[in-house]
Structure formats: C-alpha cells, structure tokens
C-alpha cells in the first residue's frame, strides 16, 4: 500500500507542476490557496489539484500509533456541542459515508468563522475549500477517501463497516486536535507536510 501511495502522490505532484507551469497566477499560490480558485471551470485542473490536496490531507491525519484514541481539547468540546459526544459524531459521519454512491470524500470541517462543525461529502476530488464548487466553504479537519481503490480489496467492496472503523482507529487525534487549536479555529488549514 505504501508503494501505491508514494506512486500516486508522485504522479499527482507532477500533474500539479504541469498545470502551474501553464498558469502564472497559480505559481504564486500554496496548494491550499489553489483549492479556492484554481480555474475550476476546467475539470482536469480541479481533479488533479483537488486530488493532490485531498490525498496529502488524508495521509497527514493518519498514524495514531500511541496517540489519543479520541478528539481532545477544543475539538472535543466542539464535537460534544454539535454531535452530543464522540459516538454521536462517528454515527453522523458513518451516515454520510453510507449515503455515498459514487467516488468522493467525507469531511469533518468547521466554518471559517469557527461557529459550527459540519460533516459533509464531496464528489470526485472536490473538497470543502472549493468556492463555487461547494455550497458552503469550510476548513477541513479530517477526511475519508471513498474512492474504491481505498477500500475495495481489504474491505470486501464496502466503504461501510470495517473500513470506517479502521479509519477512526488510525486517525491521529492528538495531531488533529492540536491542528484544530493552532489553525482550524482561526479559519486556517493545518500544514499538510
């Protein structure tokens, strides 16, 4: 799996470089800034740039070995406020996963003003930062890859059940909680690398 991930990210990075070489405005933007305005009328750009961001973000929140098994601090408080508790949040997240019938992503995000947490879904390689593509821009906290390649073989073709549980078991909640306090509540996306 690690070999596949490395290959996918390398190819996506090459495609992003090709697009930014053709677009002088994009050369001046970070990958996160590019999500908000990267010529999204052109589907190819949206898929490549969104896909690269989404995968980097997804892999950046995983790796919970020895970390917290649940959200902490301000993130825990917000989850308790909006979903009753961590179990309520997980159930809301799982419901959105169960509603997906095409490739895409499920997100926990926060409105830029810090007022509300959202569990949302996006199609293909779209994400919660893409103004004009999504209804309400929000700052991503965690995301789950619902493209078939991420779960098909190991989870018998179903994104429900064991795939989602394994995801929650592997989220580095200590890192995600720290990112939430350092960046997300200020309307910023945590650094990807």
| Whether pLDDT at 19 is above 50 | yes
Percent of the chain with pLDDT over 70: 66
Phi, psi of 140 (to 5 degrees): -70, 140
Name the more confident of 151 and 48: 48
Bridge-based pairing of strands 139-145 and 117-123 is unpaired
* pTM listed for this prediction: 0.81
| Per-residue confidence (pLDDT) for residue 162, from 0 to 100 | 76
- Rounded to an integer, what distance in angstroms lies between the CA atom of residue 107 and that of residue 128? 8
Name the more confident of 65 and 133: 133
Confidence of residue 1 (pLDDT cuts 50, 70, 90): very low
Q: What is the pLDDT of residues 103-112, one digit of tens each?
A: 899 999 999 9
| Whether pLDDT at 36 is above 70 | no
Average confidence (pLDDT) over 50-77:
86
| Whether pLDDT at 151 is above 90 | no
End-to-end CA distance of the chain: 19
Average confidence (pLDDT) over 129-153:
79
Average confidence (pLDDT) over 117-146:
90
| Per-residue confidence (pLDDT) for residue 110, from 0 to 100 | 95
| Per-residue confidence (pLDDT) for residue 134, from 0 to 100 | 80
Bridge-based pairing of strands 139-145 and 104-110 is antiparallel
CA 24, 56, 130, 185 dihedral sign is negative
| Whether pLDDT at 155 is above 50 | no
Name the more confident of 167 and 44: 167
- Rounded to an integer, what distance in angstroms lies between the CA atom of residue 117 and that of residue 141? 9
| Per-residue confidence (pLDDT) for residue 140, from 0 to 100 | 95
**Token pair for 118:** 């959202």
Q: Using DSSP, state whether 165 is helix, strand or coil.
A: helix
| Per-residue confidence (pLDDT) for residue 136, from 0 to 100 | 87
| Whether pLDDT at 47 is above 50 | yes
Q: Domain map of the chain by residue range?
A: 1-193
Residue 124, sorted as left (phi over 0), alpha (psi -120 to 50) or beta, turns out to be left
| Per-residue confidence (pLDDT) for residue 135, from 0 to 100 | 83
CB–CB of 89/108 below 8 Å? Answer: yes
Q: Using DSSP, state whether 133 is helix, strand or coil.
A: coil
Q: Identify the architecture of domain 1-193 in CATH.
A: 3-Layer(bab) Sandwich (3.55)
Average confidence (pLDDT) over 81-98:
96
Average confidence (pLDDT) over 97-119:
92
């Amino acid at each position: 799996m690690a070999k596949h991930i490395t290959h996918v990210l390398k190819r996506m990075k090459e495609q992003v470089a090709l697009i930014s070489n053709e677009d002088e405005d994009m050369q001046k933007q970070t990958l996160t800034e590019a999500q908000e305005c990267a010529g999204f009328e052109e589907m190819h750009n949206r898929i490549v740039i969104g896909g690269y961001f989404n995968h980097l973000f997804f892999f950046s929140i995983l790796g919970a070995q020895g970390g917290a098994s649940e959200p902490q601090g301000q993130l825990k408080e917000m989850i308790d406020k909006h979903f009753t508790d961590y179990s309520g949040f997980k159930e809301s997240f799982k419901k959105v996963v169960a509603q997906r019938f095409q490739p895409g992503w499920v997100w926990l995000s926060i409105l830029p003003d810090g007022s509300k947490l959202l569990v949302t879904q996006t199609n293909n390689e779209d994400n919660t930062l893409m103004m004009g593509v999504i209804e309400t821009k929000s700052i991503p906290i965690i995301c789950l890859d619902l493209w078939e390649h991420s779960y098909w073989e190991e989870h018998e073709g179903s994104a429900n059940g064991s795939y989602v549980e394994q995801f929650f078991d592997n989220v580095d909640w200590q890192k995600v909680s720290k990112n939430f306090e350092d960046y997300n509540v200020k309307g910023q996306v945590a650094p990807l690398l």
